[in-house]
Amino acid sequence: MKRRHFLKGATSVGALALGASAGLLPARARAQASTQTLITNVRVFDGKSDALTEATSVLIEGNKIKSIAPNLDAPADAARIDGGGRVLMPGLTDLHTHLVWNVGPAALLGGRPDYLAALALQEAEATLMRGYTSIRDTGGGIQGVAQAIDEGHFPGPRIQSSHAAITMTAGHGDFRNRNVMVRAFGGPTETELQRMGFVFHADGVPEMLSASRENMRQGANFLKVFVGGAVSGIYDPLDIAEYSPEEIAAAAGEAKRWNTYLAVHTYTDFATKTALEQGAMSIEHGNLMSEATMELLVQKGAWLSTQTGVFLTPLPDGFSDAQRARAKQAADGLDQMMTLAKQYGAKIALGSDMVGSPEVKIQQTSEFTARTNWFSKLEILKQTTSQNGALWAMSGPRNPYGDTPIGVIEPDAYADLLIMEGNPLEDTSVLTRPETNLSVIMKDGQIYKNTL
Ligand SMILES: [Zn+2]
């Protein structure tokens, strides 16, 4: 059923690309082997401009956009799509995901690695079919899944990954049973979750450096550290600061030496301020930060990587009263944070942070409606396209997709695009019904869905 989307798209436009022996070729090689694709009669939102273009054409060559202009010509053997006056926009991006977290905590802790990878591949396809052509994974061993997708074996989005999120003992990523002692007290040197790259436990500067370097050795594109309490944590209440300034600085310094950056999970003002002072460049959540800290974030040129839907959609059934109270505190902080972020002109990215079953993950698109509490439709669309694309580029030489832009419709950008029913500049909720509203999904010049 799901596989059919992939084949349908491939046969409608990329028939040449998916020849008898092409199945195992890397996606990029297949795209480059294909002819040009000419899309006509579309009104383009380019990810940056304030309005749609008049009806125009977009020419794709290989895996990149070649040109955008009315009345473009293409060779006779080029594939053609008549957009019928519909809106064309860059593929969606989500910069806070956990692609391997598709089951509850117990199933995750005891899950077989190949089972969890299989579910991740299924979720990767579902993500792409919701219109997301690039995601940033902020914790979880996903390098092998990303490799399989990049090589063209399975449909899915581009993935940048932090590999394991780094946690202190009793921090947000400490999922150990209370009776499992820490290493210093004779506990195991590594847990199953560490082996699979979900979390690395690190206490003290030397361990923080080792965990950071091990992540880079495993192919991380940036680093992610839990520096503050959490809504759903086992041992860590929301109000605590995790890690000393020296430990955070160690991770930030290591990221810098690898010419990439440190992203941190944090809610409270104190933890957020400390992380910024020590060099963190991507604040994940940040809901409870003060005006002074927002000013510091802007001064440092750091990103505010925000989520809204996860706080405004129903909480998981298993949440305790304490977790519900923390979730409310985090949700209540959104108003002030977003207001300050707009006031100070902070660089705002968009992410979803949905964790759990496919029924939960489908709420990834709730960002497009929940955000209307604070942002115009245009602002939301820029966040999920060009703004996320700018944060995506911050991993520099560690970006596995090179310096080719994403999140924009412009010459030499990756050919990652959507054609849809409805106009998201007038109603962003069209993006919450991808099955009916997305007519074309193209990633890397390859068509994964085409109902036109
Ligand atoms: Zn997260």
pLDDT (tens digit, 9 = 90+) per residue, 214-269?
999 999 999 999 999 988 888 999 999 999 999 999 999 999 999 999 999 999 99
Residue with tokens 């909480």, as numbered in its chain: 315
What lies within 8 Å, CB to CB, of 292 at 6+ separation is 273
How many A from CA of 145 to the centre of ligand 1? 18
**Spatial contact of 347 and 382, defined as CB atoms under 8 Å apart:** no
Task: Determine the pLDDT at residue 34.
Answer: 57
How many A from CA of 285 to the centre of ligand 1? 8
How many A from CA of 98 to the centre of ligand 1? 7
Task: Determine the pLDDT at residue 257.
Answer: 98
How many A from CA of 97 to the centre of ligand 1? 6
How many A from CA of 305 to the centre of ligand 1? 11
How many A from CA of 128 to the centre of ligand 1? 19
How many A from CA of 230 to the centre of ligand 1? 10
- Please give the model's pTM, rounded to 2 decimal places: 0.91
What tens digit of pLDDT does each residue of 321-355 get?
988 999 999 999 999 999 999 999 999 999 999 99
Task: Determine the pLDDT at residue 66.
Answer: 97
How many A from CA of 357 to the centre of ligand 1? 15
Residue segments in the chain with a per-residue pLDDT below the cut of 50:
1-32
How many A from CA of 205 to the centre of ligand 1? 23
How many A from CA of 282 to the centre of ligand 1? 13
Task: Determine the pLDDT at residue 121.
Answer: 97
How many A from CA of 442 to the centre of ligand 1? 27
How many A from CA of 437 to the centre of ligand 1? 28
Domains and CATH numbers, the chain: 2-91+405-450 (2.30.40.10), 93-375 (3.20.20.140)
How many A from CA of 235 to the centre of ligand 1? 17
Task: Determine the pLDDT at residue 118.
Answer: 96
